[in-house]
Amino acid sequence: QERLVESGGGLVQAGNSTRISCAASERTFSRLTIGWFRQAPGKEREFVAVINWSGSMIYYADSVRGRFTISRDNAKNTAYLQMNSLKSEDTAVYYCAADPVFSLANYYDSAKYAYWGQGTQITVSS
């Protein structure tokens, strides 16, 4: 059972940057696909970014492409989401998720992911 813990959330001014982390409990982390999702108040959870086990396959939602960067350090069992040029519409609870399988057919579907963190709040003030 993989346990994921997000950290690094908080209050950020619009236009600024921040980075959130997702630490995993098991050494199997290096074989997992990691996805970042977010959920704003009153909205459904939405896909943000995904990275496969090796980092060779990375995809972003259109709304964050060019501003956010997903990465991972398998030696540290940790994945990251660097968020630049933040906007008020980026305000949400951010979740990391993990799954043993990467699929081009459904990497953006939250239902596909077996493991989830508890989420970290990012609030962007304008």
Mean pLDDT throughout 105-122? 96
Q: Evaluate whether 100 touches 112 at the Cβ level (below 8 Å).
A: no
Q: In the prediction, which pLDDT does 121 show?
A: 98
pLDDT digits (tens, 9 = 90+) for 16-53: 999 999 999 877 899 999 999 999 999 999 999 999 99
Q: How far apart are alpha carbons 2 and 12 in whole angstroms?
A: 30
pLDDT digits (tens, 9 = 90+) for 80-90: 999 999 999 99
Q: In the prediction, which pLDDT does 2 show?
A: 78
φ and ψ of 111, to 5 deg = -65, -20
Q: Evaluate whether 33 touches 100 at the Cβ level (below 8 Å).
A: yes
- 121: its two tokens: 């709040």
